[in-house]
Structures are given as C-alpha cells and as structure tokens.
Structure 1
Amino acid sequence: MRIFLAGSTGAIGVPLVRALVAAGHDVTALTRSPAKVDTLRALGAAPAVADALDADALHRAVVAARPTHVIHQLTALPKAGPRRARDLEPTNRLRIDGTRNLLAAAVAAGAQRLIGGSFGLLQMPGDAPPDVRAGIDAVQSMESQILEASRLGRIEGIVLRYGLFYGLETASTQSMLALVRRRLLPVVRGDRSLLPCIHIEDAARATVAALDRAPAGSVYDIVDDRAVSMTDMVLTLAERAGAPRPFTVPAWLPRLIAPYLTRVTSVRLPLSNTKAKAELGWRPSYPTYRDGLAEIQSRAA
C-alpha cells in the first residue's frame, strides 16, 4: 500500500513509521519542520513538508504522494503532554480544520481509506467542565467528519480511539519517570480514577492492522486489557524505576495546583479492546500497564 501519514513525528509518529515500513508499505511522512526530514528518511519514509492548516499546501503534498491510504495522527502537543487547557488549542485546530483539509486532500488524491487517530480519554460525559469540553468537542468534530465522509461514500473512514500512550520512547513517560525519581509525582488520597492505557508500540501495530482489516465506518477502542487508576500508575512507575515511594497528598491539593490535568486524569473510563481484537486480529503485546513498565525497566537497565 502507498501510505500518507499526516503527523509523523508526534508521540505515535516514529513508532508508526517504523511499523508501516516493516510491514512493507511505501510511506510518505508529513512534517511541518524541514529539520525532521532526515530523521524520517532514515526511518525509510519519503518526507513531505507542509502545514496541515494550509489547505493548498497539504493538497499538493497528498496528491503528489498518490496514496491508497491516509493516516491522520495530527497533533501539536507539548512533549510531556497537555497540562493546561490552552496547551490543547493548536491540536484542537488540527482536529477540526486539519481534519477537514486532510479529508479533502485524500479524496482529491483518490485515496481509498482514511484512518483517524482519536483519543479515548476525551470520550467523557456531556457535563464535562468548559476547559475540558473544548478538547472533547475537537475530538468529536474529527471523528464525525471522518465517519460522515465514510457514510457518504467519499472515502472509507475508520476511527481509532487510543488510550493514554506510554512507553520508553514517549516524552510523557520520560517526564513521569523524572518526576517519580525526584519524588515529585504524588498519589492522591481517595483516587477513584480508571484510565485506559496503551503501549505506543501496540498502538502502532493496531493502526497497521486497521489498514486492511477494519470495515468502513468502524470505530475501535485501542487500549490494553485492563484500565489502571492514576494511583496504581504512579506507584508502578516508581517501583519499576527503583524510586522512593511517592508521597500521598489530599485531593484538594492537585485540584489547586493543576486543575485541568487533575480533571482529565480523575475520570473513570473503562474502554474495551474486545472489538479491536475480534475484527483487527490484533492483541496488545503488553496486556497491562504493569507489563509495559516491566519492558521499560528491562530496556532502561
């Protein structure tokens, strides 16, 4: 297959390029930064430089690649992840306007299928607070655009709702490791969160599987076998890193210091990978967060 990957240098970008190339696909990898061209070329991809918010430039890049399949992984997040609502604003634009531009370009290029990488954690109840609501609305706009295009027969649209990415390659995991080693990442008393996670390599493999196995119009939760509380996440990370046991703090403290991040990570969202396993022929190599962190521990040793 000829793949056009939009968003090739974000959290999942590099592992996904590697997985696509290893599967024998011809990959054109989009980046906004000319400085990243050599990195993408070294991974075996043909680089394309354009801003996804520039509809004309993106159209030229996609049409020139003549893709059979387009993968949407466009984000503009801080390396360690969003800590404030405003950190999501550039990504919200990409999920709304960038999706519109990419869909138009993919259809113009004659692509058969477009796979959109969504975010399962933002599938929250409708009463989410306003600062969280903007991110949810952007994700829902992206999904609805892709699924509506599929319903209308313009292109085969697939949506993959990823859990929280983690893995030795991810900046978010590296940031958390640095914090637990300095005992700066506490656990919260009375935590009742339940967060869906997915190792970054498992997320990449699921995306490759969806290229030819997912029926048009399908939506999948790409998560591991067992959601984890924020408390278990922090304690397991500290254990695997050989760090001191984290402090325990009252619930009001993180709400005061980091209100947005606390709201996003205190939800209960037990997503299921049953459908993805059944229809994509995919299973996570790291079934739980603890399994994935054991891999991190062994590779980091």
Structure 2
Amino acid sequence: MRVFVAGATGVIGRRLLPLLTAQGHEVIGLARSYGAAVEVEVLGAVAAEADALDSGALSHVVKDAAPDAVVHLLTALPAKFNPRRRSRDFAQTNRLRTEGTRNLLYAAEQAGAKRIITEGLACIYEPNTWVPAAEAAPLWRDPPRQFAPVVAALRSLEERTRQADGLVLRLGQLYGHGTIYGRHGSFVRQVQAAKMPIVGSGDGTFSFTHVGDAASAIAAALHSHVRGALNVVDDDPAPVREWLPILAELLQAPPPKHVPVALGRFSAGEWGVAFMTQLRGADNTLARRVLDWAPHYGSWRQGFAAELTHAAHP
C-alpha cells in the first residue's frame, strides 16, 4: 500500500514511518523544509516537500504521490506550554486541524486515496462523570475559554473526516520520547523541580497513549475498513491524584503538593484547573475489538517506568 503521512516528523510520525516501511508499505512523508525532508528519508520514506496550509502545493505533491491511504498527524505544538499563553501556543495547531485538514482531505480526494486516518484527541469528552467515555459519549459542550478553540478545531477535523468516510483515532495524553512526558520533556522537568502540584481534588482523569502504541494503532487501522472514531488509549485511565505522585516517585522527585483551586487557577488558568479536576478518561474497548489491536503498554504505570527509569537525575 502507498501511504502518504502528513506530520511525518512529529513524535508519532517518527515511530510510524519505520513501522510502515518494515511492514512493506511504500511511505511518502510530507516535509515542510529541506531539513524535514532529510529526516523523512532517514526514517526510510520518500519525502514530499510542501506546506500543508498551501492548498495548491499540497494538492500537487499528494497527486504525485498517488497514495492509497492518507494519514493526518499534523500539529505544531511547542516543547513547553506556557499556561498564560495557551491560546497562542495552540493557534497554529488549530489552523492545521481546520485549514490543513481541509487542504489535505481535498488533495486526498483529488488523488483518489481510498483510506483516510486522522489524529484526534480523547480528552475532549463532556466531563463531570468518572465513567470512562466510549466513542458515542458527547464531546465537551462548554470547555474553558482558552480550550474552546482547540475543541472547535477538533470538531471540525472530525466532521471533515466523517464527510471523507475516514477514521479519527482519538489519542490520549501522548508520552514517550519527544513528548512533554518524555525523559527530557517539560512536564517531567516540572515534576522534578516540584513545580507540578495536584490542584483541588485532583479528580481529573487522564487516559495515556504511548507514541509507539499510537503508531501501531494507525498501522492496524490501515488494514481495516472501520470508519467514524475510535479511542486509542491504554487500559488504565487514572485521576491526577493517583498518577502524578507515582510519576514523582519514579523520578525520585518530591511528592507533589496540594493546592486549592483558586491558587491553581492563578498559576495554571481555567484550562489547567479543568484538566486537573474535571477531565474524563476514555474507554478503548471498541478499538481493541475492531482493529484487533492492543497497547504494548496496557498501563501508563509500565510505560512510564520503561521510559523514565533512568531519568531520575537528568
């Protein structure tokens, strides 16, 4: 199968390209610059240079690639998030999920691609219930003001994917090499510096996904005919008050402090407080069944240990 991957040099793409080539696929990776093109080729794929926000250039390279399948992993997230400027930090990614998705799926249609897979998020379900969300659960109706454009962009991505008869993989909080939860990631460094407290109840429930498990789910989805949306997360959704102290212990860092919501709102904003206190986890039962897929790390407990055992003293 010829597979066109947009977002080929991101944290998932770097795992996905070698996996797909090892499985015998012909892989074409979108690259915005010469440096990215070189990285795509090092990863074993053919590079196609274009900006995803340039519809004409993107259509040209996708047409030349003549793919059977198109995978959309486009993001532009910073290595470190500033709680006071999260709207700005996500602005380019929101464009890629709206304009970029429109351009890419139009190009895929014109090129005759039969399979569309896009990257969504599993952290946008309506909160305030602690039962892990299945795919039919409603999405967040009234998210925090700063997070609202992110949810809106993801809704747009999902609607365009549905119209293209494609599949959205709703991923959990990504961890592993190159992520904020990786050995040198910004979140890990904050935990090591005792700057990541538990806010309020700490009931916000996170579903995690290792980058390798995200890649293996995409590879499995290429061989399926499933449409709609699937939660690609591990088996162990957990509240912040549970997983954050375990992460700190693994890093040999001080136990996280507990701070009231008012103080958390001052330092992390409404977005951070909502994630710490309201976030709803996701259920992966459907993805496991219809993709014949299972995460290598069934729980973040094993995954964090495997990634961070030697990260206690950076």
TM (normalized to structure 2)? 0.88
Q: State yes or no: 1:33 paired with 2:42.
A: no
1:169 correspondence with 2:178: yes
Name the CA distance, whole Å, in 2 between partners of 1:214 and 1:123.
25
Shifted more, 177-186 versus 198-207: the winner is: 177-186
Contact 2:30 2:49 in 1 (8 A): yes
- Which has the larger displacement, 167-176 or 3-12? 167-176
Q: In the alignment, what sits opposite 1:11? A: 11
Deviation at 1:5, TM superposition (A): 0.3
> What residue in structure 2 maps to residue 241 of structure 1?
251
Structure 1 residues 263 and 204: alpha-carbon distance in aligned structure 2, compared to 1, 3 A threshold: same
Q: Cα offset for 1:219? A: 1.3
RMSD: 1.8
Q: CA deviation at 1:172?
A: 4.2
Match of 2:100? 98
1:44 CA displacement: 0.3
Which of these residues, 147, 153, 157, is aligned with residue 142 of structure 1? 157
SS of corresponding position for 1:131? coil
**Structure 2 matches for 1:102-117, cutoff 5 A?**
102-117=104-119
Which amino acid in 1 is paired with 2:152?
A: D
Looking at secondary structure, tell me which structure has more helix per residue.
1
Give 1:159's match in structure 2, choosing from 153, 168, 178.
168
- 2:232 is aligned to 222
SS in 2 for 1:10: coil
Q: Taking structure 1 as reference, are residues 297 and 258 closer, same or farther at Cα in structure 2, changes over 3 Å only?
A: closer
| Alignment-derived partner of residue 131 in structure 2 | none
Moved over 3 A (4+): 80-83, 297-301
Residue 121 of structure 1, aligned match among 120, 123, 144: 123
**Which SS does the other structure have where 1:286 is aligned?**
coil
Question: Can you list the C-alpha shifts for 1:186-238, whole angstroms capped at 9, x where unaligned?
Answer: 222421111111111111100110001242x2310001101121232321221
* Contact residue 214 and residue 280 of structure 1 kept, 8 A: no
Q: Are 1:261 and 2:263 matched, yes or no?
A: no
1:265 positional shift: 4.3
Q: Deviations over 1:104-152 (max 9, x none)?
A: 11011111111011111123421223322211111010110110122xx
Q: 1:178 aligns with which of 160, 171, 189?
A: 189
Report which stretch shifted further, 1-10 or 253-262. Answer: 253-262
Match of 2:296 among 285, 289, 294: 285
Q: Does 1:197 align with 2:212?
A: no
Residue pair 1:81, 1:172 contacting (<8 A) in 2 also:
no
- Counterpart secondary structure, 2:230: strand
| Partner Cα separation in structure 1 for residue 211 and residue 310 of structure 2 | 15
Q: 1:248 to 1:264 in 2, by over 3 A?
A: closer
Q: Does 1:294 align with 2:309?
A: no
Q: Which amino acid aligns with 1:45?
A: A
Within 2, Cα distance between the matches of 1:110 and 1:230?
Answer: 44
Q: Structure 1 residues 82, 163: closer, same or farther in 2, change over 3 A?
A: farther
Letter in 1 for 2:256: P
Q: Does the 8 Å contact 2:123/2:279 carry over to 1? A: no
User: In the aligned structure 1, how far is the partner of 2:143 from the partner of 2:311?
Assistant: 38
- Identity of paired residues, percent? 38
Residue identity matched to 2:103:
N
Q: Aligned-pair distance for 1:54?
A: 0.3
Quick one: which of 227, 231, 241 aligns to 1:231?
241
Aligned length: 294
CA contact (8 A) 1:123 1:136 kept: no
Cα shift at 1:98: 0.8
Q: Structure 1: which amino acid aligns with 2:234?
A: D
Deviation at 1:86? 2.2
Give the Cα separation in 1 of the matches to 2:55 and 2:2: 21
| Separation in structure 2 between the aligned mates of residue 230 and residue 85 of structure 1, nearest angstrom | 23
* Higher mean C-alpha deviation, range 222-231 or range 74-83: 74-83
Deviating more after overlay: 16-25 vs 135-144 = 16-25
| 1:23-62 aligned within 5 A | 23-62=23-62
Contact (CA 8 Å) 2:5, 2:72: kept in 1 or not? yes
Report the counterpart of residue 154 of structure 1 in structure 2: none
1:299 and 1:13 map into 2 onto residues whose CA distance is 25
Moved more, 277-286 or 117-126: 117-126
Instruction: Please name the residue that 2:64 is paired with.
Output: 64
Q: 1:153 aligns to what?
A: none
Offset at 1:294? Answer: 1.4
Output the CA distance in 2 between the equivalents of 1:78 and 1:242. 26
